Structure 1
Amino acid sequence: MRNYGLLSMLLLVCSCLSNNPKEASLLESAVPKTYVLSSSEGIQTRNDVVYLNAQKYSGFLYEFYPNTQDTLFINGYLNGLLHGVCKKWYAKKQIMEERIYRQGAKHGKQVAYWENGNKKFEFIAQNDAYEGELKEWTFDNKLIHLAHFKNGQEEGTQKSWYDNGKIRANYVIINGRRYGLLGTKNCKNVSDSIFVVK
C-alpha cells in the first residue's frame, strides 16, 4: 500500500513536464491509475507494445532498484503504447530522465540529467521528431550542442563545441542548404586544415 502512495506522489510531480502543461496533464489523465511491477509475471513486450496476460496494457509500469524501495522508473501506457509521463531515476533518488509520450511517440519536453543533477539534454518533440531548440551539456554543465529543428529537420542556427570550448561547428540551415563552418573533415577540424597552427 505504501508503494501506491509513493507512486501517486510521483505522478503529481510529473504533470509539469510538457512544454504545454495542460497537454501533459491531459495525456497523463488518459492513462488508468493502475500500477503493475514491470517484472511481474504476465508482462510481455513485443514490437514496443506492452501486454499484460496477452492483452494490451493500459496503466503504469514501474520497477525498483534491486534490494531497495528506490524507484528505477515509472512509465505510462495506453493500449500497450507509451503514453503520458515517463520518468527514470539514478540509484540515489536523483532524477535521470523526464519524457512525455503520446501513443508511443515522443511528444513534448524531453529532459535528461547527469548523475550530479546538471542537465544532459533538453528538447521538444512532436510525433517522435525534434521541434524547436535542442541543447546538450557536458557533465560539468558546459553547453556543447545547440540546434534548431522544424518538422524533425535541422533549420536555422546549428552550433557545437568541443569540451575545451573551441568551436566544432557553426552553421545555418536555410531552405535545406547549409552555410558556415560545418565541422570536421577527414578527422581534422576544418579551421586546422585551412590555417597554419603554430
Structure 2
Amino acid sequence: MRNSFRVTDPRTLKAVAHPLRLRLLDLLRSDGPATASELARKVAESSGLTSYHLRELAKYGFIEEDPDQRDARERRWRAVHRYLSWDNAEMAATEEGREAVAAIRQRQIELLVRSNGEFEAQAATWSPEWIEAAGISDDVVRLTPASLTELYQRWEDVLRELAARDAGAPAAEQVVIHYSAFPRRPAPEGPAEEAEEESE
C-alpha cells in the first residue's frame, strides 16, 4: 500500500466524501482486502450497494482489485493508499473545491463520533491501560500559519516513528487517531443595552 494519495481535483475529493464510500475505504485500509459481500456484512448494507460504491472508489483511484484473489467468482478489493491529502488553499479557490473539503471534513467528524461511540460501548472489554490511554483533549493557543503547519508535520513524524516502533509489539492494537486545528475569532460582544438587561 502506497503512503499518500494527493488529490488535486475537487470532483475526486467529492467522490470519496460519500459516507458509505469513506466507511468502505476505511475498512479496506484497517482490515485488509475484502469482497463486496464481506464488506456488506460489516456495514449492514446489500452487496449490490457496496459493489457499486467499490467500483466508484476504484474509478477514482482509491482502491484496486487485489491481485491475490481467493475466489475467481468474486472480486476482492484493496486500498491503494494509506491516507489522502490535498492543498486546502487550492481547493478553496473554487466553490466546488470548498464544498468537497467541507463534505469530507464532515465525514471525518462523523467518523470521530462513531469511533468514540464504539469505544464507549466496548469500554468494559478494554484493559485499564487502554482505558487510561484513550481519550480526547483540546486546547486553544495562539499560533501563526507556519507554526500550525510545523505542528502537523511534527505530529506526522512522531506518529510514524511510534507506529514503526510498535509494529510487532504483542500489546499493539489499531488506534483511530484524529487531529484538527482551525483558527477562530473571538465571539463579538452583544449591544451594551442587551448586556445590561441580562444582568438585572
Greater relative contact order structure (CA < 8 Å, 6+ sep) = 2
Q: Normalising TM by the smaller chain, what interval?
A: under 0.3
Higher helix share: 2
Higher strand share: 1
- Give TM-score scaled by structure 1 length: 0.22
